[in-house]
Amino acid sequence: MFAIIKADIQSSEAREEINNIDGVGDVVAEAVADFFIEEHNETALDALLREVEPQPMEAVANDSPVAGKTVVFTGSLERLTRDEAKAQADRFGAKVSGSVSKKTDLVVAGPGAGSKLTKAQELGIEVISEDEWFRRTGQG
């Protein structure tokens, strides 16, 4: 399986595609390509894949009301852990940020929200509850 990746990764198109991933620059793209070229990495990955059953990824819902929006979760979430909230936002096509800025579209605030809530209010960013988050994303 990795022989195909190894052959493809050496093409300029593949390297350019890696380089186009948000947050990946020339140095990281080159490191990824170098990783797949190394024979011992191919052997290790083949052994790993024999032991696991990769699951297909859930499709991103690009038609959800939060798709394309930058969301910040703050305060105590009562129905979700932070990791669950981030995964859920990703699944609905939103980008999660750890800080509020003028680029933030939506803040989901739970009890005990502090400076992030204050900053969102100062910037005029929409603030909703966790329950409203569930309603908007069609979960209740």
Identify whether 62 is part of a domain: no
Tokens describing residue 64? 């959800």
Predicted local confidence at residue 54, as pLDDT: 76
Predicted local confidence at residue 38, as pLDDT: 85
Predicted local confidence at residue 32, as pLDDT: 82
Pair (83, 120) in one structural domain: yes
Mean pLDDT calculated for residue range 76-81: 92
2-11, 44-53, 114-123: which range is least confident on average? 2-11
Identify whether 45 is part of a domain: yes
> Cβ contacts of residue 25 below 8 Å, gap of 6+?
19
Predicted local confidence at residue 9, as pLDDT: 65
pTM given for the model:
0.60
What CATH number has the domain bearing residue 85?
A: 3.40.50.10190
Q: How far is CA 124 from the centre of its chain?
A: 25
- Domain membership of residue 25 as a residue range: 2-51
Pair (86, 122) in one structural domain: yes
Picking from 82, 132, 81, 80, the residue whose alpha carbon sits closest to that of residue 106 is 132
Pair (125, 84) in one structural domain: yes
Reduced to 3 states (helix: H, G, I; strand: E, B; else coil), residue 96 is strand
**End-to-end CA gap in the chain:** 42
Pair (74, 24) in one structural domain: no
pLDDT digits (tens, 9 = 90+) for 105-122: 999 999 999 999 999 999
Predicted local confidence at residue 2, as pLDDT: 53
Beta strand 70-74 with 126-128 is unpaired
Are 103 and 90 in contact by the 8 Å Cβ rule? The answer is no
Residue 125 — pLDDT band, cuts 50, 70, 90? Answer: very high
Burial of 107 (0-12, 13-18, 19+ CB in 10 A): buried
Q: Indicate the number of domains in the chain.
A: 2
Mean pLDDT calculated for residue range 50-72: 83
Identify whether 64 is part of a domain: no
Identify whether 39 is part of a domain: yes
> Cβ contacts of residue 71 below 8 Å, gap of 6+?
89, 94, 95, 96, 97, 104, 105, 106, 107, 108
Taking the C-alpha atoms of residue 75 and residue 52, their distance in angstroms, rounded to an integer, is 36
